[in-house]
Amino acid sequence: MRLKASRNASNTNLLQDSERGINTLGKERAILEPVDPKMLQSDMLPLGSPPSSGFGKRQGLSWILFATLSVLCVLLSPVRRSNIWSAASHLDVSRAEPVDTPAVMGLTGNGRTNDILWDKYSLVIKGQRVFIHSGEFHPFRLPVPALWLDILQKVKAAGFNAISIYTHMVLINPSPGVIDFNDYRALEPLYEAARQTGIWIVLRPGPYINAETTAGGIAHWITSEVAGELRTNATDWQAAWQDYVQSIITETVPYQVTQGGPVIAIQIDNEYSQEPAGHAEYFAELEAVYLNSNIVVPLTANDPGEDRDWINGTGAVDIYGTDSYPQGFDCSNPDVWKPVVTNYHSYHESVDPGQPWYFPEFQGGSFDAWGPTAPGYDQCRILTGANFENVFNLHLWASNAKLINYYMLYGGTSWGALPFPGVYTSYDYGSAIAENRELTVKYPELKRQGLFLRSSPDFYKTDLVGNSTGGIVSVSNPAAFVTLLRNPDSAASFYIARQEISTTTETTTFKLNVATSAGKFEVPRIASGITLAGRQSKIVVTDYSFGSSSKVLYSTAQVLYAGQIGGRDVLFLYGDSTSESEAALTFNGTPRIQGGAGVSTTSSNGVTTVNFLPGIQGLVTVWDSSEQLVLYSDADTAGTFWSPEIPASSSVEFANYWQFGTNTSILVGGPYLVRNATITGSTLALRGDLNESVRLSVIAPDDVKTVTWNGIPISNDAAAASILTPQGGFSAQLQPSSAVLAIAPPALTDWRYADSLPEIQSGFSDANWTLADHTTTNIPFKPYYGDGRVLYGCDYEYCENAVLWRGHFNATENTQSVNLSINGGEAFAATVWVNDVFLNTSYGNSTNNLNILEETDDRFYFPPGSLLYGKDNVITILQDNMGLNESGSVIDEEKSPRGVRGFMLNSGDFGEWKVQGKVGGYTNYLDRVRGVLNEGGLYGERMGWHLPGFDTSSWALRSLSEGLPNATAGVGFFVTTFNLSIPEGLDVPISFTFDNSFQPYRAQLYVNGWMMGKRVSNLGPQYQFPVHQGILDYSGTNTVAVALWAMEPTAVTPTLQLTVGNVYEGGVGSIQINNPPWSPEGR
C-alpha cells in the first residue's frame, strides 16, 4: 500500500468452454527557546516527504507436450530445511527447468510451469479459467497463528478465492545472518490454513513492502549497516537481502500450486519506479534469485500508479499490475466522494492489452493518522463503506479487471514497533473485517459480490464491448452510465450500471436496450425502470446460465447465487426493497410453489417475465419444482445468506478449492457466520458463529435428512421449511447458549506501582550502557551540530521504541543551557532532564497528517540549583522512536536518523555520551518469541516488568488513575493481573480501553508481555486497543502492565478498563497460548 500526500460441475469453466519536511524550529515554550539556525553551522536536510510508492521483456518458448511437462514441474520439489531459529543457511536447490507453453491454446506462461497460464482475459490455473477475487491480510498483524484460520474462513465465506500477504523482513531477518520462521513469523501454518480453507495466495515478500510499517519492512539493521542506496543495485544492499529472499524461497517452494499448495504468484518488491537504471537492475537481481531457484509461479509487480513500470525492459515481470486508491486517505469527511477513475480500461489497453488486467491493490479502506482531528477508523469505514464497495468495485469490474485484490480485507494491529511514524497502533483500516475480527457493515456487500463472482464463470472471460457514452449501449436516461461486458464464447452479457456523475446522491431511473439470444429490446419490459438509488451500481445480466441447463434471458434483479443443489438448478436474485426489479427466464418442471407476495408473472413463448414489486422484504420462493428453485429477497436479507462449499474427499487434490476439488455448494441463511459445511451420508454438518437467536434456512441436496450446527443436531421446522421448498429445505430456530449472555469483563484493580526512571537519580551508573562514540554513519542524514559524534540509535542497535541518552559534562557558572535537536519521527516526544531536574518535553506533531513535526530543535535552560559546578552533570533524554520512515522522494529515507541530531552547551563541551535501548539490541535481544519489535529501553522493560510472572509483591499499591506520585514528570510501571474464565466455543472480542481525554501522557500497554498498544493522550485518536485470545488467556491469569510516561510536571489521571462487545458462540476451536514468562536471564 502506498501513502499519498500514500458448485456443481455445470459451473466448471474449462478452457474449451467458453509523503513532508521535518525541520520545523519556531516552537515557543515557557523555558525553551527555538534555536536560531543561523547560529548553528548545519546542513539541514529535509526528510519525510510523501513516500513514493514504488524484468528484460517477456520471452516465450516453443511449446511441446503440455501434460508431460506439467508432471515434470510437479516433480521438481526441493527438500525443506527445518523451521528453526538459526543463522541463515541457503538450501542448495537446482533451478527449475523451463517448460513450453501451449501457444496453440492462445495462452501465455513464464516458461517455468504450465499450471499457471494467462491470456488477455484472466489467469488459467491448472486448466481452469479463474477470476482472482482477493483480499489483503498481513499475518504479522495478528500474532496468533491459530487465528489465521479464523480470518481465512471469513474471507472464504464472503466468496473470495484468494488472499494477498506481505511478509515482514524486520521480523524474519532481525539481525545479520539470522532467519526466524518461528511462531507468528512462520509461513508454513499460513500456507496450510489456506490449503485447508481453499484460498490461493499471492505472496508479497518485498523486501520493501511499505504497508504503513517501520522502514517499509526493511530490516532495521540494514538501515545502519548498509552504506549503499537501498532498493537499488548497490552491492552491499544486494548482499543484505539475500538471506531473507532465499529463506522465503525455501519456505514457499513446496507450497506452490504446482505441488498442491496455495501460492500462485510472487510479487517483486513493492510500488517502485523502473527509473533510474539502478531500480530496474535491483528488480532484475531479485528476479534472478527466484529464477535460479525452484520457484516456478509467475512473478508480478504493482505499479504505484499508471506509470507503465515493469511491463517491458530491465526488471519487467511476468504479470503487470497497478494499484489504485480512488478515494484517498482522509476520512474526515466520509460522505464526500471523489469520482470514479474513468481511464482504467483505456490505460490497460494502451500498455498491456495482451495480459489480464490486474490490480494488486484496490482500495478496501484507509489508514488513519495521528492527531486530535484524526477521524478514526469508524469514519474510514463510512468513506469506503458498502456504497463505495458497490460503486467503485463494480466500476473496476467494468474496466474488465479479472485479478483484483482489495487492500485491506482484514487490517489487524500494528503492535509493538510495527508502525511507521504516520500511523498509530490500530491498523483496522476501516476494513470489512474489523481489527477485533468482527464482521462489519461492509462485509455483506462484499459477500454479495463474491457469491455473484463464484456463481458466474461466464464473467471470467469477457470483452469490453462499449458503454453508453460511446453509443454502443443505449440508455433512456443519460444520468445513467452503463458498460457492456460480453463473453465471446457463450454471449452472456453483463451490463454494469452506475450514475454518470458517480458522486451524486440523486435517484436515477432508466431503461436499457439489450441484445439477447431472443433479439434486441428494452428492459425492463414491465417495471417502470432500473433504479439507481444514489450511490449505487447494478449488473443487468442477459443470456445468463445457471445450474446444468437453465438460463436467464435477462435480469435487472441482482444475482446472489447461481448453481445446482442436489440436482436442481438454483437461482437466488435480490433487489432493493424500495424499487422494482425484473427477470425473464424459462421455468422448468411442475411448480409446487410459485409467485408470492409482491411477485407478478407473465409468460410468452416459454419465457416468464417476473416483476418484483417494491416492498418485498425477506425471502420469497418464486418457483419451486423438482428441476428448478428460484428465490428472491431484498438486498439486506440476501446479505444474511451464505453459500458454503462442500469439499471433496481428502484424497482429492485441491479438495477445498472451488472449481478444482469441488463445485458443490448449498445455501444457508440466518447465522452471523457460516464457516464451513460437510455432508456425510445423509447428515449436513454446519459450523459457524452465533451472537443472537436467528431463523436458520437451509437449501441442501434432498438426500440430506439431518442437519447439525457445531455438532449438535437441530430439529427441522417442517412447516416453515415447506414454505421455502419441500425439496432439500430445512428451517429451524438457532439460539446461542446462555453463556453468550453471561460474559462480563473483570475490573482492573489492585495495581502495583514502581518508578521506571532511575536514570535521573543521583548515583545511577550507566557504566554498562553502550558508549555512543561513533563519528561516522551510513545514515545519510548527518548531524546538524555537535562535536562530530553520531548519536543515532540504530547505529548502536537501538532502532525502535523508547531509547535513553545520557550526556555527561562538567558545569561552570557560565553553563546556562543546552541545545538539542531530537529526531523521533512523526508524533514522537522526548523529555529532557539535567541531573534529577525536569527541563521540558519536546513534542513531535501530527494533526491528521498536517502540521507534521518529525524532529525538534530546542534550547533548554538550566534552572538555578540544577547543576553541580565543577562536577559531573548528566543530561538525560528519554525519546520515543515512532518507527523508521518509508521510502519517499528523499533517497534512503528508511535510514531515518532517530536520535540526537544536534547537541551543544552554551559553554563547554560534553564528555561521554551513553545510550540504552532494549536489552541486547537487534543482535542479542532477549524475547525471541515476541520478537525484535516488542520491547524498548525503558528501565521496566529492561528488567522485564512487563512479562507475566515478574514478582511485584514488594511494589507499592497505587491505582493507575492516580498517575505518578507528586505529579512529577517521569515514567512509572503499573502492573496488575486478572483472571478470565471464558468457556470453550466462545469467541469474545476484548479490548483495553483508556480514558478518551487529552492529557500530557504516553502509555505503553503490555498484555501478557506483548506490547499491544501505544496511547498518546496529548494527540490521539486511539484509546481502545483490541487484544486477541492467544495473547489473552481465556481460561487463566493474565498480566497487564502500563508504562506511564508523564511528559509534564502535572497530574495525569489515566483510566483503563476491559470492554467486551458482542460475544460469539462458535469460533475456530482451541487457541494455543505462547506467552513466555519472566526470567532473570539477561535482565
The residues annotated with a catalytic role in the active site are 271, 361
Q: At what angle do helices 148-157 and 188-197 cross, to 10 degrees?
A: 30
Q: Strand locations in 121-209, DSSP E? A: 123-125, 128-130, 132-137, 162-166, 178-179, 200-204
Segment holding 642, helix H or strand E: strand 641-642
Cell 563519528: give the residue.
775
C-alpha cell at 1041: 502492565
3-state secondary structure at position 930: coil
Helices within 411-498 (DSSP H only): 443-455
CA atoms within 13 A of residue 671's CA, in its CB half-sphere: 29
Segment holding 940, helix H or strand E: helix 939-943
Are the C-beta atoms of residues 524 and 580 closer than 8 Å to each other?
yes
Judged on CB neighbours under 10 Å (0-12, 13-18, 19+), 520 is: exposed
- d(CA 588, CA 552) in angstroms, rounded, equals 12
C-alpha of 587 from chain center: 44
C-alpha of 793 from chain center: 29
Would you call the peptide bond into 882 cis, given omega within 30 degrees of 0 as the criterion? no
910-916 vs 801-810, strand pairing mode? antiparallel
- d(CA 630, CA 562) in angstroms, rounded, equals 9
* Angle at alpha carbon of residue 675, lines to 670 and 680, rounded to 5°: 100
CA atoms within 13 A of residue 45's CA, in its CB half-sphere: 13
C-alpha cell at 808: 555527561
712-714 vs 706-709, strand pairing mode? antiparallel
In the beta sheet, which residues pair with residue 621?
631
3-state secondary structure at position 635: helix
- d(CA 784, CA 630) in angstroms, rounded, equals 74
C-alpha cell at 461: 472471460
**Which residues lie below 8 Å from residue 275, measured CB to CB, with a gap of 6+?**
none
- d(CA 309, CA 55) in angstroms, rounded, equals 10
Are the C-beta atoms of residues 128 and 118 closer than 8 Å to each other?
no
DSSP state of 475: B
568-575 vs 628-634, strand pairing mode? parallel
Are the C-beta atoms of residues 115 and 160 closer than 8 Å to each other?
no
CA distances from 562 to 18, 565, 926 (A): 17, 10, 55
Q: Residues of 714-744 as b/e, b for ≥16 C-beta within 10 angstroms?
A: bebbeebbebbbebbbbbbebebeeebeebe
- d(CA 908, CA 249) in angstroms, rounded, equals 56
Cell 510495527: give the residue.
418
Are the C-beta atoms of residues 898 and 880 closer than 8 Å to each other?
no
Q: Amino acid identity of 70?
A: S
- d(CA 355, CA 862) in angstroms, rounded, equals 67
3-state secondary structure at position 667: strand
**Which residues lie below 8 Å from residue 484, measured CB to CB, with a gap of 6+?**
464, 465, 466, 467, 472, 473, 493, 494, 495, 496
Cell 507528586: give the residue.
966
